[in-house]
Amino acid sequence: MKEDNSLFVLDTSAILAYIEDEDGAEDVEELLIKAENKKVFVYVPFITLTEVFYISMEEKGEKEAFKRVHLIQSLAVGIVESSESITLTAGKLKATNRISFADAYIAAISKELNAVLVHKDPEFENVRPPLKQYKLPYKPKRGK
Sheet containing 7-10: order of strands: 78-80, 41-45, 7-10, 116-119, 133-135
C-beta atoms surrounding 132 within 10 Å: 17
Residue 2 above 60 pLDDT? no
7-135 domain in CATH 3.40.50.1010?
yes
Contact (Cβ atoms closer than 8 angstroms) between residue 94 and residue 88 = no
Residue 94 above 90 pLDDT? yes
- pTM, two decimal places: 0.91
Q: What whole-number percentage of the chain has pLDDT above 90?
A: 92
Q: Which amino acid is at 15?
A: I
Q: What whole-number percentage of the chain has pLDDT above 70?
A: 92
Per-residue pLDDT reduced to its tens digit, 123-142: 999 999 999 999 999 866 54
Angstrom distance (rounded) from CA 12 to CA 101: 13
Per-residue pLDDT reduced to its tens digit, 15-60: 999 999 999 999 999 999 999 999 999 999 999 999 999 999 999 9
Residue 112: pLDDT band with limits 50, 70, 90: very high
> Domains of the chain: which residue ranges?
7-135
